[in-house]
Amino acid sequence: MRKYVSKSIVTVAVVFALLTSCKKAEITTDVFVDSYVNSILDANGTPVFAMIHSAYSFTKMSSVNVKGATGSSAALQNFNGDGFSFYMDVKDLTLYKAAAPAADSFTYNVTYSDGTIATKINSVVAKSLLPAQQLDAQKTPATLPTDITLTWKPVANVEAYKVRIYTEDPAGRKLIYESNYLVPKDATSTLSIPFSVVSFSPYLSYSVTFEVLAFIFEQGQDTFNAVSVASITKYFGA
C-alpha cells in the first residue's frame, strides 16, 4: 500500500508540473485577437457599421497592427497604457460607414516589449446586427425607485443580449449595473426586463442611460462575429 501511494504521489506531481509548465507557456507567449462588426445608431437614428479589432496578451506589447486582405494597415491603440491590451475605440464615429463590412481575413502583427514578433490571423464572416429598436424604460410610480422596466423589439438573428445601466453623473458617467448574457426565448416577442434588483435612489438627481447590446458569437467560441449597441437616456427624478 505504501509503495502504491508513493507512486501515486509521484504521478500527481509530474502531471501537476506538466500542467503548470503548459499554463506558464500560454501566459507568457500567446496573444488573443478578435475582429467583429459593431453597429450603432448615428445622430439621425440610422444604423452605421464598423469593423473593430482588439488584441490582448499576458505579456507586454509595444505595438499591434492589423491588415485585411485589401486596404492599408491600421495601428491599434493601447488606451490603458499598460501594454497588455490594444484595440479600436468603438466610440470613434469616423470608423463607421452606412454599409456593413464584407467578410475578410485580418492579420495581426504584434511586437512585444522585448522585440519578439508574433502574427495571428482572425477571419470575420459577413454577419452584422441592427441595434435594438423601440428601446424604452418606464417606471412604476408607486414603487420607484425599485421598479423600472426596460423593453425593446427583438433584434433579428441575435444569439444573446447584455444590458448595462449608467448614471450620467456630472463628475463622470458611472456603470451601476451589467447583466449576464441574456438568451431570448423567441425571435418575435418584445423583451421586458424589470429592474427590481437595482436601487436607483442614489441616482435620481441624474439622468440614467440604459444600453442594450446584441451579440452573434463565433462558432464554438466566446468571441464575437457581430455586436450592436442601442441606448436610451431617461430622467426619473422629481
Cell of 40: 450603432
Q: Quick one: CATH architecture of 133-235? A: Sandwich (2.60)
* Rounded Cα distance, 66 and 225, in Å: 17
64 Cβ contact partners less than 8 Å away, ≥ 6 residues apart: 55, 75, 76, 86, 108, 109, 110, 111
* Rounded Cα distance, 75 and 111, in Å: 12
Q: How confident is the model at residue 17 (pLDDT cuts 50, 70, 90)?
A: very low
The helix (run of H) or strand (run of E) holding residue 14 is: helix 2-29
Look over the chain and give the mean of its residue pLDDT values, rounded to a whole number: 81
Please give the angle made by the CA atoms of 41, 44 and 46, to the nearest 5 degrees.
45
Whole-structure pTM value: 0.78
Count of CA atoms in the C-beta half-sphere (13 A) of 219? 4
Q: How confident is the model at residue 48 (pLDDT cuts 50, 70, 90)?
A: very high
Residues in the chain: 238
Q: Which of 37-41, 193-197, 230-234 has the highest mean pLDDT?
A: 37-41
pLDDT in tens, 120-178: 999 998 899 999 999 988 876 655 555 678 888 889 999 999 999 898 888 888 898 88
Give 217-221's long-range contacts (Cβ < 8 A, gap of 24+). Answer: 217/159, 217/160
The CATH code that applies to domain 30-124 is 2.60.40
What is the reported pLDDT for 4?
37
**SS3 (DSSP) at 212:** strand
Please list the residue range(s) of the chain that carry CATH number 2.60.40.10: 133-235
Residue type, 9: I
